[in-house]
Structure 1
C-alpha cells in the first residue's frame, strides 16, 4: 500500500469487457481495490451492465441541437460521468484488433459532444487525465493500434489527456492466470503519482 496524505482527483474506471470474470475485469477490480485502499476516489463502470442503444445516425437532430435523440436508455448516466469525473482509466480486451462492441456503442453515442465542441462551438470542459489498459491474447505488432486511435480521438472530445507512455499494454494474456501482478502494481504506483493533487 502506498502511504500518502495527498488529496486525489475523482475518477472512474471503465471496464469494456462483456465478461465480468475475465482478465480485463480482474485487472479492473485489482486497480480499483488498490486505488480505493489508498483513499483515491474512484468508481467502476461495467459498460456491459448499462442499457445503451447504438447510434442510429439521426444527424439532423444531433447536428442541430448537439444532443442525442435517443432518450429511452441509460446513456445519460455515462454522459454525466464523462463530464463530472476528473480522471479515467479505460480497461479493455482486444476484439479483432479493436474494442468490444459495448465500448464502441458507448463511444459512438458521444457524437453529440463532438458536435458541440467542433460544430456548434458550445462545449468547453476542464482538462482531465486519461489512461488506457489494453489486454490482448496475442502478440501482434499492431495489436493495439486501432484501439489507440479510437480512444485518442474519443478522449479529445471531453478534453481528456491521451499519452501512450501513461498507458499499459499487455500481450499474451489468455486468462487472468497469465497476468503478472508485479506489472500491474508498478502501473498503479505510477497512476497514483499522476492523479494525486
Structure 2
C-alpha cells in the first residue's frame, strides 16, 4: 500500500501546524496505514517566474532543467503527491493567506493547469485523489479567515486530478500547547478514519 502524504507547509519546524499533522499521522498509523512526511522547508525549489514556457506542449517547466547549477526539487514533491493515495496539507495562515513557501510551490503547479485538458482526457473516469487540509491561525476572529486559502487550494488541486475532501480550521492557536486535548483527539480520530479508508480500499483490491 502506498504511503499517505503529509505535507508540512510551515517555515517553522515543530510549530502548531506541524503538531496538528503529527496528531493526524498518529491516527493514520494506528489504523494500519503508512505515512510519508514532506516538509516544504526542507526542499529546494524556485518560485514561478511567469516565463510562459509551460503554456505550450509539452508543458515543461523551465525551472526543472537538470542542467542548472542549483537543484530544483519541485518535481520531486509533485511526484510524491501523484503516487500518494491520500494527502494532507498542514499550514499556518499568515495575513489571511497561505505562507510564502507553500504559495511558491502552488505556483509551480502552473504547468499542470496549462496541461489540464490533456490530463482530463488521460484520467477520464477516475475519481479525484482525496486531499485534506489543516489550517491554523493565531487570530481568533475573522469571518473569512480561511476562505482565501481554501479557494487557492481548490484551484491548485483541480488540474492535479485531486479534490479537497475534508478540513480542520483552528483559530486562536499561537503555540502547540494551545491545542486542547479535545482538538488533539479529534485530529487523531480524523486520521484514523482516513487511515481505515485506505487500508480497507487496498485490502479489497484484487
Output the TM-score relative to the length of structure 2: 0.82
1:62 shift after superposition: 3.8
2:161 paired residue among 141, 146, 159:
159
Whole-Å separation in 2 of the counterparts to 1:156 and 1:11: 19
Show structure 2 runs of 5+ residues with no match. 65-70, 201-206
Show structure 1 runs of 5+ residues with no match. 1-7
Whole-Å separation in 1 of the counterparts to 2:25 and 2:15: 15
1:40 lines up with 2:44 in the alignment:
no
The corresponding residue for 2:171 is 171
Whole-Å separation in 2 of the counterparts to 1:19 and 1:185: 23
Higher relative contact order (CA 8 A, sep 6+): 2
The corresponding residue for 1:63 is 56
Whole-Å separation in 1 of the counterparts to 2:121 and 2:56: 12
1:26 shift after superposition: 1.5
Whole-Å separation in 2 of the counterparts to 1:122 and 1:37: 37
| Runs (4+) off by over 4 Å | 119-123
3-state SS in 2 of match to 1:65: coil
Tell me the number of residue pairs that the alignment of Structure 1 and Structure 2 aligns. Answer: 188
1:49 paired residue among 29, 42, 48:
42
CA RMSD of aligned residues (A): 2.1
